[in-house]
A = this chain, B = another copy of it.
């Protein structure tokens, strides 16, 4: 569980200290992000990029990437530029999603959205610059990894970030707005692309950097797809059950926008059951791995237990 001040308190008995692990990884990732993106010329754009990139958050995406790389025998150092790229892409997608022409949102992570501070033009450009930067980071900062692995990871992340992933999901989401007859299939398309593709990329790219074989990739893909969908179901539930203060962003948005969500199709209790089922399947996909996979198991559980 995450309390509103961001402190993490894990409710269940577990030999693995997820709270400590998440806190440690968050510090590492934020130090890397801060160092990798200094303010240079022209300062406005770097300030706009850093405003959203360093606005906090749990850094779950880079943590998933680092945890997968180390599970397969890689080091955190090998995967750090790739892990940071995941957060960079996530941030760019939030900046563009919040734009007036898109979701038109004023708050994100408890702060004004990028375009409210820097203007719409700078927010568009900050998103563009971050998107390009993710690939620059991976291609120029990765050390100690055979280049063919980095290329595979870039190809996977680029696909997940574009029309075949994140952007494609956002398109169908926008096209579905205000329609009452959205099916579970369409909703699942939206979320496996808009949220799921990048979460899966975190896991798969971490695995590729470590030199994963086909068997590992299949197991980890199953793990990632399940936690991705569970994550979105929980997001939909939290949008209904949480306050703005708890979420750090506008609450009740889906209802106000008359958006079809899992809770609106299934009800809250059934949505919770489905999310738990997906998490159980995700953990079952890790059965081949020993205690080294405990961070991924604990992260999966955390995905349904989180409060924001």
Contacts and interface: CB of A to CB of B under 8 A. Distances in A.
Interface residues of A, number: 50
Contacts of A171: 42, 44-45, 122, 125
A150 interface: yes
A174 B129 contact: no
Given A45-B171, A163-B133, A124 B96 contact: yes
Nearest to A165: B132
B147 A135 contact: no
Nearest to A128: B167
Given A161-B132, A163-B46, A41 B168 contact: yes
A211 interface: no
A139 B154 contact: yes
Contact of A124 (B45, B99, B161): B99
Given A101-B120, A129-B162, A136-B158, A45 B147 contact: no
A205 to B, nearest CB: 12
Contact of A45 (B99, B132, B167): B167
Contacts of A125: 96, 167, 170-171
Interface in A97-123: 99, 101-102, 119-122
A127 interface: yes
A148 interface: yes
Contact of A163 (B119, B129, B148, B155): B129
B41 A162 contact: no
Given A124-B101, A171-B44, A155 B131 contact: no
B172 A128 contact: no
A125 B125 CA distance: 13
A154 B129 contact: no
Given A49-B163, A101-B120, A158 B175 contact: no
Interface of A: 40-42, 44-46, 49, 92, 96, 99, 101-102, 119-122, 124-125, 127-133, 135-136, 139-140, 146-148, 150-152, 154-155, 158-159, 161-164, 167-168, 170-172, 174-175
13 contacts: A40-B164, A42-B163, A44-B171, A46-B163, A129-B163, A132-B162, A132-B163, A132-B167, A136-B154, A139-B151, A139-B154, A140-B158, A154-B154
Pairs of residues from A and B, 9 with the lowest C-beta to C-beta distance, nearest first: A132-B162, A136-B158, A139-B155, A101-B120, A140-B155, A147-B147, A129-B163, A132-B161, A139-B154
